[in-house]
A and B are shown apart, each in its own frame.
Chain A
Amino acid sequence: DTGVSQDPRHKITKRGQNVTFRCDPISEHNRLYWYRQTLGQGPEFLTYFQNEAQLEKSRLLSDRFSAERPKGSFSTLEIQRTEQGDSAMYLCASSLGQGGYFEQFFGPGTRLTVL
């Protein structure tokens, strides 16, 4: 399967713990995006990478959130000191070019539940 993969698919954690999610994009895609989605809402843009460079971050991304794409391939999203408000589906997507012009391919998401 050469689509976008995310790991884990589900994560349950206690408030205050740190969590890390991984995204493996389609190999030839230079753009990688992270979104957060809550029930009944569309995905909210968090950040994106062009190759290994993180070029834009949403104001939604507080200092507890950090994302990396060290070699321009897979990416990780870490949330430190999780809060109940962080409970959501975290989606990763990749594309060949700018997301406003090119189709984004989405992974299945990681569902985070903070107790």
Chain B
Amino acid sequence: SQQGEEDPQALSIQEGENATMNCSYKTSINNLQWYRQNSGRGLVHLILIRSNEREKHSGRLRVTLDTSKKSSSLLITASRAADTASYFCATAMKTSYDKVIFGPGTSLSVIP
């Protein structure tokens, strides 16, 4: 079974609105990453949050991590049509820091 699972599976919003995606995972982690995938640029790393961090910002992105609930959220503020993509959380278990496990992803559509 997968280490991480995103919720919702699909999300459709209007341009300018905020988008929130959630990720739940099963085992202890050292950090959690978010990646974006669209047809134009492939898979691109967005942000990494360490297990001792609770919140991290990068531009219009805000990521939170709650290790007690084994969950993370990705917030995209003031969404743009160019944000249309699939978003994946990715974790590496403490037993193997190179084996990164991706969730099934959230498909985000931003309508102009």
Contacts and interface: CB of A to CB of B under 8 A. Distances in A.
The B interface, classified by DSSP as helix, strand, loop or mixed, is strand
Contacts of A98: 92, 97-98
Nearest to A103: B45
Contact of B43 (A41, A43, A100, A101): A43
Interface stretch (A14-22, A62-70, A72-80, A106-114): A106-114
B100 interface: yes
Interface of B: 2, 30-31, 33, 42-45, 48, 88, 90-93, 96-105
Contacts of B2: 42
Given A100-B91, A100-B92, A108-B42, A55 B104 contact: no
Contacts of B88: 42-43
Given A42-B104, A44-B102, A100 B97 contact: yes
Contacts of B96: 56, 100
Contact of A101 (B30, B103, B105): B30
A94 to B, nearest CB: 12
Contacts of A33: 98, 100
Interface residues of A, number: 27
Contact of B104 (A41, A48, A93, A101): A41
A1 to B, nearest CB: 13
B105 A41 contact: yes
11 contacts: A31-B98, A41-B104, A42-B88, A50-B98, A91-B42, A99-B98, A99-B99, A100-B93, A100-B98, A104-B45, A106-B43
B97 A101 contact: yes
A86 B102 CA distance: 19
Contacts of A101: 30-31, 48, 92, 97
Q: Which of B31, B42, B103 has the most CB of A within 10 A?
A: B42
A109 B101 CA distance: 18
B42 A45 contact: no
A85 interface: no
